C-alpha cells in the first residue's frame, strides 16, 4: 500500500468513526422529550423546560449538520487525491445507533432489580387501543417483560409484515410507556435508511408523494385511529422536507406510527424484522448493487 493509499484509508476510517448516528439519536430523543412536554404543559401555565429543550435540540441539529459536512469534505478530499473508489459515501450505519440495548446493567455485586411500576396510570395502553382498535389485555393476561425499544421495534415490524393487527396491539400494550415513547427516538435514522433503500437514493423532498403512496394505505389499515397528519409529518422528516409539527398531538401517536411505518417499509423491501438487529450484516440495497 502506497503512502497515498494509506492516508486515504485513514481518512475513510476517521469519517466512518464520526458519531453521526449517536448525535442523530440524541437529537431525536430531545425532540421526543419536547413533544411530550408540549403535550403535558397544555394543562399547565409553567413552560417546564420546553425552551431549554428546544435550545438543546437546536445545538444537536447543528452538531449533526457539522458532522455530515465533515464527512462530505473528507469524501471530496479523497476524490481530489484521485482515490475515487474511496471517496464514495460508506453505507449509512446511523440507524444502528438507536437499536442497541438501552437498559442499564447493575454492578456485578448488585442484584438486578425490576423497574419500578409506572405511576401515571394506563394512558399508554389507552392511546394504543385508540390507535390500533385493539383493547388492552386483561391484567391477569398482560405480559410486561423487560423489553428494550430495539426489541419492541422488531416485534412491531414482524407483526406489521404478517398483517396481524391483534399481534401488533399486544406487543404495544405489553410495554411500559417509557419504552414505547422511545420509539420516536429510535426510528428516524432507521426510516431514513429504509426509505433510501426503497427509493434507490437519499430521500429528497420530491420523493414525498412516492413514499406516501407506498406506505399510507398499509399504515391506515393497521392504525385506523391515527391522524393522517402524523404520518405526513414523519414522511416529511424522512425526506428532509418542511414539516409542521402539531403541538396538540398525543406523543404516543408519533411513536406508534413510526414503528408501524418501519414495518411497512421493511415489507416493501422484502426484508424481515431480524435485519433490524445491530449485529446483523448490512442488507444489500439498490445503492450497493448500483455501486
Tens digit of each residue's pLDDT (9 = 90 or more) over 279-288: 777 776 555 5
Task: Name the pLDDT band for 98 (thresholds 50, 70, 90).
Answer: low
Over 50: is that where the pLDDT of 87 sits? no
- How far CA 119 is from CA of 42, 152, 178, 263, in Å, comes to 20, 22, 12, 31
The DSSP annotation for 50-68 comes to HHHHHHHHHHHHHHHHHHH
Task: Name the pLDDT band for 66 (thresholds 50, 70, 90).
Answer: confident
Q: What is the mean pLDDT of residues 115-119?
A: 54
The DSSP annotation for 71-91 comes to HHHHHHHHHHTT-HHHHSPPP
Task: Name the pLDDT band for 77 (thresholds 50, 70, 90).
Answer: confident
- What confidence score (pLDDT) does residue 56 get? 73
Q: What would the grid cell of residue 162 be?
A: 404478517
Distance of CA 261 to the CA centre of its chain: 10
281 phi/psi in degrees, rounded to 5:
-65, 155
Nearest to 165 by CA among 215, 227, 222: 222
Tens digit of each residue's pLDDT (9 = 90 or more) over 164-223: 899 999 999 988 888 888 888 888 888 988 999 999 988 999 999 999 999 999 999 999
- How far CA 59 is from CA of 30, 79, 130, 258, 283, in Å, comes to 10, 30, 35, 24, 32
Pick 86 or 153 by higher pLDDT: 153
Task: Name the pLDDT band for 246 (thresholds 50, 70, 90).
Answer: low
Over 50: is that where the pLDDT of 275 sits? yes
Pick 273 or 111 by higher pLDDT: 273
Domain ranges for the chain, please list them: 1-90, 93-291
Over 90: is that where the pLDDT of 232 sits? yes
Over 60: is that where the pLDDT of 42 sits? no
Tens digit of each residue's pLDDT (9 = 90 or more) over 20-40: 767 776 776 676 676 666 655
Amino acid at each position: 500500500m502506497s503512502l497515498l493509499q494509506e492516508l486515504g484509508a485513514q481518512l475513510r476510517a476517521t469519517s466512518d468513526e464520526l458519531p453521526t448516528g449517536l448525535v442523530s439519536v440524541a437529537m431525536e430523543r430531545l425532540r421526543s422529550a419536547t413533544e411530550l412536554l408540549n403535550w403535558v404543559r397544555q394543562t399547565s401555565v409553567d413552560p417546564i423546560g420546553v425552551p431549554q429543550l428546544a435550545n438543546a435540540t437546536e445545538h444537536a441539529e447543528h452538531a449533526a449538520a457539522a458532522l455530515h459536512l465533515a464527512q462530505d469534505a473528507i469524501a471530496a478530499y479523497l476524490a481530489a487525491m484521485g482515490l475515487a473508489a474511496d471517496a464514495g459515501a460508506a453505507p449509512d450505519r446511523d440507524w444502528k445507533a438507536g437499536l442497541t440495548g438501552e437498559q442499564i446493567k447493575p454492578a456485578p455485586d448488585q442484584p438486578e432489580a425490576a423497574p419500578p411500576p409506572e405511576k401515571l396510570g394506563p394512558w399508554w395502553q389507552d392511546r394504543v387501543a385508540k390507535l390500533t382498535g385493539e383493547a388492552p389485555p386483561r391484567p391477569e393476561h398482560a405480559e410486561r417483560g423487560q423489553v428494550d425499544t430495539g426489541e419492541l421495534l422488531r416485534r412491531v415490524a414482524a407483526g406489521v409484515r404478517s398483517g396481524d393487527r391483534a399481534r401488533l396491539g399486544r406487543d404495544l400494550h405489553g410495554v411500559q410507556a417509557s419504552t414505547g415513547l422511545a420509539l420516536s427516538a429510535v426510528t428516524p435514522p432507521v426510516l431514513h435508511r429504509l426509505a433510501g433503500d426503497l427509493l434507490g437514493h437519499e430521500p429528497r423532498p420530491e420523493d414525498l408523494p412516492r413514499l406516501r403512496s407506498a406506505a399510507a394505505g398499509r399504515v391506515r389499515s393497521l392504525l385506523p385511529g391515527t391522524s393522517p397528519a402524523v404520518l405526513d409529518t414523519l414522511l416529511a422528516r424522512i425526506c428532509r422536507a418542511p414539516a409542521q409539527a402539531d403541538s396538540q398531538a398525543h406523543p404516543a401517536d408519533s411513536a406508534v406510527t413510526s414503528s408501524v411505518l418501519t414495518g411497512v417499509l421493511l415489507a416493501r423491501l422484502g426484508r424481515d424484522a431480524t435485519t433490524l438487529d445491530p449485529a446483523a450484516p448490512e442488507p444489500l440495497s439498490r445503492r450497493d448493487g448500483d455501486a
